[in-house]
Amino acid sequence: MKKIIVLVAGICLIAYTLFVNDKPNVILIVSDATRADHLGVYGYNKNTSPNIDKFARDGVLFLDTRSQSTHTKLAVPAIIASVYPTQHGITNYGHALSDSFTTMAEILKAEGYQTVGFVTNVHLQEVYGFAQGFDDYWCNRYFEHDHPGNVTNAEDVVDDFVNWLDTEQQEPFFAFLFFIDPHAPYTPPVAFVEGDTSWRNAAGGWGDSHIGAFEGADRQGVIDLYDGEIRYFDSEFGRLMSELKKRELYDNSIIIYTSDHGEAFWEHGLVGHGTALYDEMLKVPLVVKWPKSGDAIDYFKPGHAAEPTAHVDILPMLCERLGIDAPRTVDTGIVSELYLDQKVRIDQDEPYLIASIVKNDLKLIITHHQSDSTTDIELFDIHNNPKELVNLAGKLTARTQHLKNALSVASGRMVRERYAPAQRGAPTQHELAELKALGYVE
């Protein structure tokens, strides 16, 4: 009997070892404020992203992906926990993500994954709830230094991750790499900029109040610097992929690349992000490289996916591929929201109360103005008018009402599954310095 027990135990151990070792590593890469249409793989006419473009050939390129918000702190929960702003309830810099949500790191940790995060945005610090499920989370380490206001560049993040791979990595692992590049201020190494950079320090700041009035060549100069930031990040993205290949980790890893939101350059009179829900701020890149295998499901094979997708789709799709249960998400269509309390940002004169929904090539944006109790209704045919310049709300009244009803139903579903955010309190002096460096506060 003892021999049988030992034999069975040995078989179980071998089976468990094979099962664990067969799990693909998962690497989630997010570059801040990267609009999709400034990458070559999405048709940009400048050579900003040769390494991302090459990577996309190994994966599924999602052609039409929108963020759930245009501010990092509101958008990232959709990526890591498949929840909308109405659900997580974060509306100011003192709020933290509720631990009632189950994050990607928590799900994978429960499946036996080693979990690590390298995160360089002050909004995503441990104290704000974004370290849930991580064995090791590098964020405070990037901000607790003698000279607050200095941002951690992409090279340092790649170096830290590669060092972790060589010294602490076990398989399977989940790594979350959040790069602040190409977020403003746009100060890439000069070698990555095409165009005149001699004036770049004259801007004095990077919010609407500083560069919103730029005209002509100055506007193009800002865009050239932004493209330089993308080009610099892309070079480090390429180095990261090379390091994974050297360690024979590339082929057996699920690698997800996206951005938290886009970036505006005067298309609707706005610069930056976190102030509206137009597509220059909402549309983001999404590329998913699955492990090399004989999967029969089409969207697990390299190619293009034209169907509209959103950040809330990432976690369920990952869980399906891994054969594990995903947290229940609200089926709303492509809904995005921007709810920020008054005076959260220096360029904000009232709370942002904005929601949008996309269905069948039509996009509705509803903006509530608390200051005078008015509401702006915008309806765009994003197939024929992708730049969202022709408002059809007054002409297509029936379709406008249909989308208003759909958005109302979606909001109701979200409210029923809402958890109140944790209240963390006012930012520290270090955090204020970081927020000032990023253009959010004075």
Hey, CA dihedral for 241, 242, 243, 246, is it positive or negative?
Answer: positive
Q: How far is CA 70 from the centre of its chain?
A: 9
Return the pLDDT at 67.
Answer: 98
Cβ–Cβ < 8 Å for 437, 185: yes
Angular region, 181: left φ>0, alpha ψ -120 to 50, beta rest: beta
17 confidence band (pLDDT: 50, 70, 90) = very low
pLDDT, tens digit, 9 for 90 and up, residues 203-239:
445 554 566 677 777 888 889 999 999 999 999 999 9
Average pLDDT value over all residues in the chain:
86
Two tokens, residue 284? 């983001």
Residues ≥6 apart with Cβ < 8 Å to 204 = 210
Residues in the chain: 442
Mean pLDDT (whole number) for 134-144: 85
Mean pLDDT (whole number) for 379-387: 97
Asked if the model's pLDDT at residue 433 lies above 80, the reply is no
Give the strand pairing for 253-259 and 25-31: parallel
CB atoms within 10 A of CB 39: 24
pLDDT the model gives residue 4: 34
| pTM for the structure as a whole | 0.89
Q: Which two tokens stand for residue 239?
A: 């180095």
Q: Give me the mean pLDDT over the 54-62 stretch.
A: 95
Of 299 and 189, the one with more pLDDT: 189
Identify which has the larger pLDDT, 7 or 342: 342
Domains of the chain: 25-330 (3.40.720.10)
Q: Where are the alpha helices (DSSP H) in 103-205?
A: 104-110, 140-143, 154-167
Q: Which of 118, 88, 102 is nearest to 27 (CA)?
A: 118
